[in-house]
Structure 1
């Protein structure tokens, strides 16, 4: 009986430590974003001068393990880890004009996160998109460029994640930075993200316009044609 109690206490202690580490990560990430993001733009100059807070939260992220079955914690962790690692990559090479100026930024440079050594593309495509089939990830994963959806000034949190995902998708499709509706020409101009990841926005037999309309206040006629404007790869700095 004593052995069972001891093993149980050890297991509970392990779970508690993991929960505390994850909670600490979310709190530190939230603090960092609030201090360094304004209107979707990042204070790279200030972070470059003092990167201690960024390094600290990424150090916490190294030792965290979270299961895919714990979906909200998993998704929130990897979304924040991605966004923080993009900022780290740009700060490492700052001043820089674009993430594309740094060779292998998305597909070669590895980051130590969640017990893995992983590139940014694999976080997006293997850990998130492939596992959950949710196009809304495209509105919260921020690649460090002006053409990306704007970075928010808070962390994505498991308790609020569904609300946050919905909000960012609605902002994208009701504003004019992600799509532009031209009623005279019966056309929608969209971000290249819609073209690059077309399979995400046309799942289950829906068209891109039909998907967009699920978030639109003013619906777009389904006979409108869709084209794509050039992506703005300039760094999203303040």
Structure 2
């Protein structure tokens, strides 16, 4: 009987220990890299399906860790979902709001990840000025403490105007986000020297509170050397929603 009890507790302890050894950040990186490389990703999807809320809370305690993980997850499952069923993009509202990603004991939507976790429960249709009240416990436990506006230049929703997809890591996240921000804004922004008017990506309009309003967006364009001087006016270009998958970019190996 004692042997049975010892064996039982050993089995339980081993199971818990093996679960704790799962590095979910690395899983997110391998998942996305396998998609980029055209390799199988089913193993990583299954690991994420078995993850628990407590595990993710324990492993992702800082905003840097949370952002790196959830941006990878978002971008990976966008590619998976739309490569398997591109017709889902015909109704983009439902595509982003429907629950389709099994992780942390829940089934999440892309809106849950972007606006709930990464944007700290911000209302999707308020330019970022309003928070969505009465959020679920899992969202409150997993969401960031502060919004980093640069995530808008890291998330790829499958449209032609979206920023490229890259694999992010918490150790180099600040440098990676700065790089992608500058590269993307350079591609998306024009400046009229005579009128001192900048025309940039519509993301800065849709989520203008995240950027500190139009004034904050103009300041960002100048600080990142996208324009020669701070614009007096800021306009926003039309967003091209044509489905465009496989827009990948390799990040530099920062020191």
TM-score normalised to the size of structure 2?
0.70
Residue number in structure 2 paired with 1:211: 220
Is the 1:82–1:141 contact (alpha carbons within 8 Å) kept by the matching residues of 2? yes
Q: Which runs of no fewer than 5 residues in structure 2 stay unpaired?
A: 1-8, 121-143, 247-255
Deviation at 1:188, TM superposition (A): 1.0
- Does 2:189 correspond to 1:199? no
Deviation at 1:107, TM superposition (A): 0.9
Residue number in structure 1 paired with 2:43: 56
Is the 2:168–2:176 contact (alpha carbons within 8 Å) kept by the matching residues of 1? yes
- Structure 1 residue matching 2:194: 3-state secondary structure: coil
Residue number in structure 2 paired with 1:231: 239
- Structure 1 residue matching 2:156: 3-state secondary structure: coil
Residue number in structure 2 paired with 1:88: 80
Residue number in structure 2 paired with 1:71: 63
**Aligned-pair Cα RMSD in Å:** 2.9
Shift of the 186–24 alpha-carbon distance from structure 1 to 2, 3 Å rule, reads closer
Is the 1:190–1:228 contact (alpha carbons within 8 Å) kept by the matching residues of 2? yes
- Structure 1 residue matching 2:191: 3-state secondary structure: strand
Deviation at 1:59, TM superposition (A): 1.9
Shift of the 194–15 alpha-carbon distance from structure 1 to 2, 3 Å rule, reads farther
- Does 2:177 correspond to 1:162? no
1:129 to 119, 128, 142: 119
Separation in structure 1 between the aligned mates of residue 15 and residue 194 of structure 2, nearest angstrom? 63
Shift of the 15–230 alpha-carbon distance from structure 1 to 2, 3 Å rule, reads farther
What is the correspondence of 1:87-106 to structure 2 with a 5 Å cutoff?
A: 87-94=79-86, 96=87, 99-101=89-91, 104-106=94-96
1:144 to 141, 149, 158: 158
Shift of the 33–214 alpha-carbon distance from structure 1 to 2, 3 Å rule, reads farther
Shift of the 70–26 alpha-carbon distance from structure 1 to 2, 3 Å rule, reads same
Q: Which runs of no fewer than 5 residues in structure 1 stay unpaired?
A: 1-6, 37-51
1:20 to 19, 22, 25: 22
2:230 to 221, 224, 228: 221
Separation in structure 2 between the aligned mates of residue 74 and residue 157 of structure 1, nearest angstrom? 10
Shift of the 145–186 alpha-carbon distance from structure 1 to 2, 3 Å rule, reads same
Separation in structure 1 between the aligned mates of residue 155 and residue 73 of structure 2, nearest angstrom? 10
Aligned length: 207
Shift of the 54–104 alpha-carbon distance from structure 1 to 2, 3 Å rule, reads farther
